[in-house]
Structure 1
Amino acid sequence: MALTDTAIKKLKPSDKCTATRPDKYSDMNGLQLWVRYTGVKSWVVAYRYQGKQQNISLGLYPFISLADARNETTKIRNDLAQGINPKDERQKAKQKDNLDFDHFAQIWFEHQQTRIKPHTFKRDKGVYYNHIKPLLGDKDIYTVRLPDIMAVHDRLALQGKTSTAHKVIADIGRIYDHAIIKGLAPNLANPIPRGIHKSLVEHKSKHYPRIKITELPKLLTDIDTSNSEPLTKFGFYVLCYTFVRTKELLGMTWQELDFDNCLWNIPANRMKNGLPHVVPLAPPVIEILQTIKSWHLHDEFVFFSNRGKDNVLSSNAFTVALKRMGYKDKMTGHGFRGLASTSLYEMQYNPQAIELQLSHVQGSKTVRAYNSANLLPARIKMVNDWANVVNEVKQGDFSTYKAKSTADGNEMAFISFLQSLRYKEQEIQDELDIHRMERLEVLAG
């Protein structure tokens, strides 16, 4: 049965899929789609030549579309009809084109595929195929000059995509460095000078909007009275109590939850920093999760949705709900992290405990492991205290927040926190002004 784009997009590794045995789905004329255990999908053409079974790899899906893969398969079948081994023809083409920039880029990607996470590899490939290859792919790697590379950067920068513009410069530099280090091109020089990023268009970091703690009572009331689905409302509260990232919340599984010890163990492959993360759960969170469990929505995912990608609620569920409640450009799901962390700094909690709760990477691997183990009791107390503050504030009671806050609100630690997030000097000053005013509002109330 022929494949379709819709069917291909839905394919996931089966239980039988292993590192050495990918799932194989046939199309026509020997064209197959191989789905590896990492989720990577690649095109392969199977054929017989002089009685021997052989395979040719065409590339990765979706970078090679179904239509393109079928066209390549037709060419391979035409070669076979003329008694030509398609592999021989491809080898001749490689020898002819082995100085093309794309040739060295593909070697670098082969190197990267086993070294980085599948979703990162897929993202990097997308950036390459969409932005770098169209301008540089067919050029002789020895003839590529800095103006050619800057043309790739400038096209993105003019569209306001400064982060991607910086990334293409870095990736092109890595492709050159890999070719030089591996000795793939004698006497090759990297045309990108050191320190070039100081001369590039400045990238402005995106800082998520958030409300002040004085506005939290209204937000929670608006959530309660909104027409959002119950699961979305519960999601808002878990974000508020735990201040995890929305992606971490939405991927939560029942297997990750330790109800006996009130802990949530998030595996490394689901974390932004690639490290396992333990999240203490306050009593209100446990109550929410037990309620969801009683609904029997799904055996694996807590925030299950048959309408969302990967069978979980979409992150847009929070964005759309906040927009409907009038919080567009005022609050995001991610904003609960900023609200909680800055409030806890103001209330004099241990900065390391706050950073660990936010899963920010600090220090060496040994230091991180030591802190994670030794600061867990402090973090458990901190999240329980924060849950109590949230519940009090919801009722308009800021007494605990006032009692724990001081005149300076732990400003030096807060400044260090903002610096770790790469806030600029003026942005730090703006944040300090906001929080000073915020404390005055509460203390005067």
Structure 2
Amino acid sequence: MSDTVMPAQILTDAKVKNAKPRADRKAHKLTDGNGLYLLVQANGTKCWRFDYRFGGKRKTLALGTYPLVKLRDARDRHDEARLQLLDGRDPGQEKRRKRAEAVVTDTNRFSSLARDWWEQQKGTWTADHADRIWGRMENDVIPHVGHLPISEIRPQDIIEVIRKIEGRGSLDVASRVQQDIRRVCRYATHMGLLTNNPAGDLGGVLKSRKRSHRPALGREELPGFLQELETYELRGRVLTKLAIKLLVLTFVRSGELRGALWDEFDLKNAVWRIPAERMKMGTPHIVPLSRQAIDVIEAIRPITGRYSLMFPSERRRTECMSDNTMRRAIFKMGYDGNTPGKSKAVPHGFRATASSILNEEGFKPDAIERQLSHQERNGVRAAYTHQAEYLEERARMMQWWADYLDDAQASGVIRSSA
């Protein structure tokens, strides 16, 4: 005897054709099984419906009206909806998407608006950064939501994109993609195509990663590192060596150094002014230049002074040096975490090294934080701090730091003013 459970009623073409409204003028159902039924309304209209559950909620999907949609067609649509459920998709949402796709124009698709936003913004980024952003769009976003009209994109769609990226372990990429989508939707809002940003309130959605500090050299390792850096041109490009020297002297973020433009430097007044659009926190930054930093810059000028970028790519002079160029050079010197007697070091780590030593030496914490271009969390305090900027104190501090590095390299030992 079969274990198959048959539905209470199986419709036939004759039953559907002959179905009549009830005498009490109330709508009634003729069930076909697995949630599919024909709803016969009081006025005689016959509508195909599918009741199902998705996300713990009961929902109903309209499948058309009879006789325009025959029994066989209704069953085909019912089967398609059930397959969507098995695939983890909501049939009702899929129907809305298809309807929207039928009327969507190229101008309001997410993919078109993303491209418009990127074209508008890319002039404020370095070429490498612009390429990375569009690469994320092409690889991780557009294949999933690019075809949708911007007005049809919901927070759940964005979360699904993010979850796919997290699923392959790329938590940093997931965070950047969420930010990219939010900025595209904000652009659409400014264009009048959205009233609310579906990516604007997704706090807590991203998986958190245990924060680890970037590898940095300790105070006692600086002399040896600086001495080895002096001989680096025997193993690599002179420009890479000079880039690392300037990075150590200024301890800016590596991206801020790699994207440096010659017209940002005022050597007469010994300052480097980095514009807001190149800064992580979106505020302009002033870097006082020590005598040693100016000497390094003057050594770079014969190499790249004819270009707009101080550190252009070796292949394409209109693009900045690769993110990995300095990192590879440092690893080639043995600071890769695998060489006995040497710690691992990365370009960003010199910020921590400098901060630690300068704090130990008694320099004002506010001046150090401002030199690191860290954002003050207290708004009122930030306003006063930004106005003062501790420029005189920072200039003295940066010169002390450069002299300290010279002495460490020359003597091979560390010193302290204490």
Q: Which of 350, 357, 360 matches 2:371?
A: 357
Correspondence for 1:335: 349
The 1:384/1:173 distance shift into structure 2, 3 A limit, reads closer
- Structure 1 residue 108 displacement after superposition: 7.0
Is 1:214 the counterpart of 2:229? The answer is no
Q: CA deviation at 1:371?
A: 2.2
Answer yes or no: is the 8 Å Cα contact 2:182–2:200 preserved in 1. no
SS in 1 for 2:272: strand
Match of 1:310, SS state, is: coil
**Could you tell me whether the CA contact under 8 Å between 2:253 and 2:351 is conserved in 1?**
yes
Alignment of 1:88-237 (within 5 A): 96-98=102-104, 103=109, 106-107=112-113, 110=116, 118-119=124-125, 124-138=133-147, 148-169=157-178, 184=193, 196-205=202-211, 207-226=213-232, 227=234, 228-237=236-245
Q: 1:307, 1:313 within 8 Å by CA — same for their partners in 2?
A: no
Structure 1 residues 118, 183: closer, same or farther in 2, change over 3 A? closer
Q: Which runs of 5+ in 1 are unaligned?
A: 1-92, 404-445
Is the 8 Å Cα contact of residues 254 and 302 (structure 1) preserved in structure 2?
yes
2:88 equivalent in structure 1: none
Residue 114 of structure 1 and its aligned partner are, at CA, apart by 5.2
Q: Tell me which of the two structures has the higher relative contact order, counting C-alpha pairs closer than 8 angstroms and 6 or more residues apart.
A: 2
Going from structure 1 to structure 2, the CA distance change for 1:359 and 1:116 (only over 3 Å counts) comes to farther
Q: TM-score, length-normalised on structure 1?
A: 0.56
- The answer to whether 1:277 aligns with 2:267 is no
Q: 2:415 aligns with which of 395, 399, 402?
A: 399
Which residue pairs with 2:87 in the alignment? none
Tell which structure's C-alpha radius of gyration is larger: 2
| SS across alignment from 2:399 | helix
Q: Shift of the alpha carbon at 1:384?
A: 0.9
Q: Which runs of 5+ in 2 are unaligned?
A: 1-98, 338-343
State the partner residue of 1:345. 359
Specify the code of the residue in structure 1 equivalent to 2:387: Y
Cross-structure match for 2:276: 268
Give, as a single letter, the amino acid of the residue that structure 2 aligns with 1:275: T
Kindly provide the amino acid, as one letter, of the partner of residue 134 in structure 1: P
Assess if the C-alpha contact under 8 Å between 1:238 and 1:285 holds in 2: yes
Quick one: structure 1 residues 122 and 371, their matched pair in 2 at CA, closer, same or farther if it must change by over 3 Å?
farther
Give 1:13's aligned residue: none
- Equivalent of residue 257 in structure 1, options 258, 265, 271: 265
- C-alpha contact 1:353 1:379 (8 A) present in aligned 2: yes
User: Matched residue of 1:165: which SS?
Assistant: helix
- CA distance 1:159–1:253, change in 2 (3 Å): same
**Deviation per CA, 1:328-377, whole angstroms, max 9, x where unpaired?**
251112221111112212222112211221222334785354123xx110
Who is 1:385 aligned against?
Answer: 400
Calculate percent identity across the aligned residue pairs.
32
* Partner SS, residue 348 of structure 1: coil
Deviation at 1:381, TM superposition (A): 0.4
8 Å CA contact 2:150–2:193 kept in 1: the answer is no
Q: Residue type matched to 1:377 in 2?
A: E
Tell me: CA distance 1:125–1:397, structure 2 relative to 1, closer, same or farther (3 Å).
closer
TM-score by length of 2: 0.59
- Distance, in Å, in 2 between the alignment partners of 1:399 and 1:253 is 34
Change (3 A) 1:215 1:132: same
Deviations, residues 171-221 of structure 1 (Å, cap 9, x unaligned): 656777887898758xx9987795x54254214456421111111111112
**C-alpha contact 1:105 1:175 (8 A) present in aligned 2:** no
